[in-house]
Structure formats: structure tokens, C-alpha cells
Amino acid sequence: MKLSKIFKVVLLLTLLTPLYGNSLEWNLSADTTILDLSSKVGSSYVAQLIYQGEGGNAIGLANIGPLPYGEMSDRFYYTHQNFIPGRDSPYNRWQRVLFGVTIKGQRHSSGKVEILSEDVLQYSGDTFSIPTGAGNDLLPNPGFVEGFNSEGVWGKGSNYRYKYPYEFITIELRAIATTEGNLIGGIYESHLYFSGAGFSLTLPLEGRREESSELEDHSFSIERVVPQLLPFEQLIEKDSFTNRLRVGVIKYSSFETGATLSFASDASNSAVDFKLSSTKSSFPFSLVFESNNGAQKITDTSYGFSTTTHQLTTIAPTYTEVVNEHLLSGEVGIYVDKDLRKNRLPDDFYSTEIYFIVTSW
């Protein structure tokens, strides 16, 4: 019997961007929150963005995938990470959500935060507006022209030196689960695309629903040990078999059967062509699995790692019981080519899917 799970790594590539005009950035210090899809009560914070630029700018929000098969394309969804098209597919699983948007402005020197507007977006392609401008732009001749002071008051004088009333504007995003969904346990994802005058941004989100084991009397877990977002500068430092990035830990245990673990880069278990990809570009990486038997680079789907058997003895006053436990554990690491340092890749979020296939015997 086979059990397949997916492990995802997302990288944020940050390159130099202009320091003028309208800008929208993902606030990495605020992080994102994995949406709990086990509950449909209330709304949950999932991410925060930072805006600087002119007021009155309309920002569009679209769901660019993955979209569930057979459902309306103008909705927002979290879709199962193992998604396989087909209405009867066991992995055509999804949850429709709405997105709540709260816009806040932060004053220049006092740091005072004020709620400017709130909205709920129901359909992919809906827009919301930035009510006023924000930024650190200074007037060229304060005292001779009107401007804002640090508290956002409009006037003329040496203290009225700011072009905008706020230093920056935060956009807090909340996911609101609806009653529309077709869920099983597992990991779900939603990729959002923000666009406005002079900027665009792709935001990957993740949701989870508690799942029961698909194999009775088996325990198989994958723990991510790398941040959900990893700066590109950290990845390019990991450029050899011995100098690799530790991304995950795998553990398998069973008192019934042994098993073999293998890896693939696609759902059909036919390739090990591992790549980090975005809508703009992609680049390859190497995958390494290290167990008690040493480290091995994954170069073929047929290469498997088998469990080892340990005897556990229970001694009671009237009997002694010996059972066999089949165990396999190890670390997953990745590294990139040294020449990647020389390449100039476009700004974007790059992600990869690594398939773990457990075959029991």
C-alpha cells in the first residue's frame, strides 16, 4: 500500500526596487498565519502588507490558483495541495473564503495607528481603495508651502514638512471561511495577486485541516524546519552536498509492517526534476535525504530508504511479550548550484513541491 504526502518550500527573492512611486510589500516581520480549516467560526488573520504612495489608489485582489475543478473561477479558494483535476478526484478538495481588509495608517513620529477603512472582498477581482497617501517624502521648502506635521495635521510652517499624513499604511488581511467547501485532512493553499498603479505582488497562503492517518497502525509525519519564507540570499549560500539547507524531518513508525520511502518531483512519481518555480522563472536544486545509514542525493525515483526493525520487550509478572517496531527517520536537505549567484532572477515568490511516497510491505 502506498501513502503519498507533499512537502512545500516557498522562497522570497528580494532584489533592488525603486524608492519612489507607489509600492506594496509583504510585511515579513508580521509573518503569515496558517489558516485552520477545521473551524468555520469567525475570521482569522493571515497576512499584513505595507503600502506607501498616493491616496485614492485602487488595489485589485485576484485568486490565481490553484482553483478547484468545476467550481466558479471568480471566487477565493484554499485548494488541497495534492490537487488533481476531476470532479470525482479524491483530491479535488477546497474551501471557499472571503477576505476581510482592514487599512490602518501610522503617523510619522508618534507611531500612532489609526483605522482608516474596512472592507470585505467576496469575489476574485474585487478592489479596495487606499483612502489617503503615505510615505516619508519631505517637502522641498517647508515653511513656504503647506504640508503635514508628524501628527498628520495640515498647515504651513517649519514643522509641516511631510507630503503625506502617514508614514506608511498597513493592510491587514483576514480569511473568512464560508459554508461552501469539500474538505478532507491535509494542507491547502491559496495564491493571491494584488495589483495597482505602479505595483503588483503575489502572496502565497497556507491552510490546514487535521487529518487522520491514511494507513492503519502507521504513523508518518513530516515536520518543516525551515521558515515558510526564506530569503534568496540565504539559499545561495547552500551550494554543495556537504553544505546544504536543512528543510524537513521525516518520521515513520509501525508495529505491523515495514516500509520503503522514496521521493519524486511530481504526483505521478515519475521524475526527480526538482525546481523552485514562479510565474516568471525557475531554477533547479538538488535534494538529499540523510538517515542513520548516511546521506544520499536523490537522483532516481526508484531509490528507496527502508525501515529498520527494533524489538521491544514488555515484561509482566505472568508473561513476556516481544513486538517488532519498524522505524525510519531522517532529514531532508536541499542545495543549489554555485553558478546561481551569477544569475539575476526576477522578483517573485518561488516554491517547490516534494512528493514523499511510502510503500508498506
CATH of the domain at 65: 2.60.40
Give residue 239's identity as a one-letter amino acid code: D
Contact 118, 101 (CB under 8 A): yes
Residue 145 within a domain: yes
The predicted structure's pLDDT at residue 15: 43
Closest CA to 19 of 136, 141, 138: 136
Q: Are residues 192 and 286 in the same domain?
A: no
Q: Are residues 232 and 315 in the same domain?
A: yes
Question: pLDDT for 84-107, tens place per residue?
Answer: 666 566 668 889 999 999 999 999
Q: Are residues 199 and 283 in the same domain?
A: no
Q: Are residues 257 and 346 in the same domain?
A: yes
Q: Among all chains, which residue has been given the C-alpha cell 521648502?
A: 141
| Exposure of 45 in the CB half-sphere (CA atoms within 13 A) | 9
Question: pLDDT for 290-308, tens place per residue?
Answer: 988 889 999 988 888 888 8
Residue 24 within a domain: no
Q: Which domain holds residue 97?
A: 32-211
Question: pLDDT for 101-130, tens place per residue?
Answer: 999 999 987 778 899 999 999 999 999 999
Give residue 118's identity as a one-letter amino acid code: E
Residue 23 within a domain: no
Out of 165, 191, 211, a domain closes at 211
pLDDT at 256 over 90: no
Q: Are residues 79 and 111 in the same domain?
A: yes
Does the global pTM surpass 0.75? no
Residue 57 within a domain: yes
Distance, in Å, from the CA atom of 286 to the CA atom of 298, rounded to the nearest integer, reads: 7
